[in-house]
């Protein structure tokens, strides 16, 4: 149950694709893998990933996550009207029924774990499904502890129709904290120093907006809300996060912040309203440049990874010719993974 929120405007400069030497190392002695999809002129999507900027197509659908283990590339995704799948290199493995969607992947002791939904939250170990409690629910993130414990993050609907951010440890569900009278959702899970971190958003009641969403992460069950950058008086409506990363340098959260449309005499003011990408490092917000105002939208960040002092964020930006152009930011420098006319999204990043 992804929440749709009003959008914002930002006007900044961006780099051209040629500014990166695609096919060579983006980070010295490292490989940068980015998973996502592109859409052709007929509206058909192709699941793909980029290795140091060079695209590898896998088949119909869209990728949601990517990891690399023992030299093999593991990706996961789904196709509208088809089943969810994961890939080991270019070999696909089907998951579940035609209703299944898969969003996250992890590898532990040679076994492949994926999380998603198939008439409710679930995870798969290899291709064997494990249903999770919750009724109207979904799993979005998965991580495996060294001892084999399986952590899944997502949401479920309670009897009062609140969306409850949930975690399942080895199939046992528990709630994550939310603002009083609010709700939330988990979309990504990471483990660091034996502790699970859950990334998503929470919504608190607000007298002006009804609900004010904020990008959030939970360390075990302790919630940390990211600053939106201002209040109603500054035009900010709310934020969400879609992915995170944790290492010895801190906690990184990738997402977006939205701006309200401003009006004058009952008419929308041109150039106001829209959404733009950010990441947060230990609660400090960093603006990500690029994108143009296109149909109430500018840019979104979906995932972040860090290595050797480089912060790499995956997402999409708007161009004059096309919305949702797949892109990455490397230390805040924007590079479009395809040309201005290629529609698509970069959903996940992994540095090896």
Question: What's the pLDDT tens digit per position in 299-342?
Answer: 999 999 999 999 999 999 999 888 899 999 999 899 999 999 99
- Residue 343 pLDDT class (50, 70, 90 cuts): very high
- Average pLDDT value over all residues in the chain: 88
Cα distances (Å, whole numbers) of residue 84 to 103, 174, 176, 251, 263: 9, 26, 27, 30, 43
| Interstrand relation of 172-175 and 163-169 (parallel, antiparallel or unpaired) | antiparallel
Task: Give residue 2's pLDDT.
Answer: 42
For the cut 90, the answer to whether the pLDDT of residue 264 exceeds it is no
Taking the C-alpha atoms of residue 135 and residue 120, their distance in angstroms, rounded to an integer, is 6
Segment 61-86 shows an average pLDDT of 93
CATH topology of domain 17-351: Neuraminidase (2.120.10)
User: Residue 121 burial by CB count (10 A; 0-12/13-18/19+): exposed, middle or buried?
Assistant: buried
Task: Give residue 228's pLDDT.
Answer: 82
- Residue 4 pLDDT class (50, 70, 90 cuts): very low
Q: Pick from 72, 77, 23, 78: which is nearest to 52 by CA?
A: 23
Segment 270-278 shows an average pLDDT of 76
Task: Give residue 90's pLDDT.
Answer: 95
Buried b (16+ CB within 10 A) or exposed e, 210-225: ebbbbbbbbeeeebbb
For the cut 70, the answer to whether the pLDDT of residue 29 exceeds it is yes
pLDDT in tens, 198-229: 999 999 888 777 788 899 999 999 999 998 86
For the cut 50, the answer to whether the pLDDT of residue 5 exceeds it is no
User: Residue 92 burial by CB count (10 A; 0-12/13-18/19+): exposed, middle or buried?
Assistant: middle
Task: Give residue 20's pLDDT.
Answer: 58
Task: Give residue 124's pLDDT.
Answer: 97
Q: In the chain, what percentage of residues exceed pLDDT 90?
A: 69
- Residue 18 pLDDT class (50, 70, 90 cuts): very low
For the cut 90, the answer to whether the pLDDT of residue 261 exceeds it is no
- Residue 1 pLDDT class (50, 70, 90 cuts): very low
Segment 82-88 shows an average pLDDT of 90
What φ, ψ does residue 232 adopt, rounded to 5°? -55, -40
- What are the sequence ranges of the domains in the chain? 17-351
For the cut 70, the answer to whether the pLDDT of residue 58 exceeds it is yes
Cα distances (Å, whole numbers) of residue 144 to 75, 153, 176, 211, 249: 16, 12, 19, 33, 21
Segment 57-84 shows an average pLDDT of 93
Runs of H (alpha helix) within 135-277: none
89: left (phi over 0), alpha (psi -120 to 50) or beta: left
């Amino acid at each position: 149950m992804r929440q749709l929120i009003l959008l914002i405007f930002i006007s900044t400069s961006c780099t051209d694709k040629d500014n990166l030497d695609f096919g060579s190392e983006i980070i010295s002695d490292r490989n940068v893998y980015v998973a996502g999809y592109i859409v052709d002129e007929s509206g058909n999507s192709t699941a793909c990933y980029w290795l140091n900027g060079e695209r590898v197509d896998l088949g119909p659908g869209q990728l949601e996550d990517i990891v690399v283990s023992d030299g093999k590339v593991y990706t996961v995704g789904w196709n509208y009207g088809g089943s969810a799948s994961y890939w080991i290199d270019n070999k696909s493995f089907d998951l579940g029924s035609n209703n299944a969607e898969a969003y996250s992947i992890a590898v532990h002791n040679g076994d492949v774990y994926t999380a998603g939904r198939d008439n409710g939250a679930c995870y798969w170990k290899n291709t064997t499904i494990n249903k999770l409690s919750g009724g109207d629910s979904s799993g979005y993130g998965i991580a495996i502890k060294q001892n084999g414990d399986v952590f899944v993050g997502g949401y479920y609907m309670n009897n009062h129709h609140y969306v409850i951010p949930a975690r399942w440890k080895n199939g046992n569900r528990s709630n994550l904290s939310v603002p009083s009278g609010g709700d939330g959702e988990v979309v990504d899970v990471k483990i660091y120093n034996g502790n699970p971190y859950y990334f998503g958003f929470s919504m608190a009641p607000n007298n002006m907006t009804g609900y004010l969403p904020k990008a959030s992460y939970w360390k075990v069950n302790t919630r940390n809300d990211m600053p939106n950058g201002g209040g109603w008086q500054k035009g900010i409506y709310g934020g969400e996060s879609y992915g995170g990363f944790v290492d010895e340098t801190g906690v990184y959260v990738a997402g977006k912040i939205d701006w309200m449309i401003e009006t004058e005499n009952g008419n929308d003011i041109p150039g106001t309203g829209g959404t733009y990408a950010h990441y947060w490092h230990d609660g400090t917000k960093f603006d990500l440049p690029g994108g143009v105002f296109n149909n109430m939208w500018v840019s979104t960040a979906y995932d972040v990874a860090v290595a050797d002092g480089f912060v790499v964020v995956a997402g999409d930006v708007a161009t004059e010719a096309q919305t949702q152009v797949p892109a990455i930011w490397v230390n805040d420098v924007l590079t479009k993974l395809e040309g201005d006319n290629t529609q698509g999204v970069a959903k996940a990043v992994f540095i090896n």
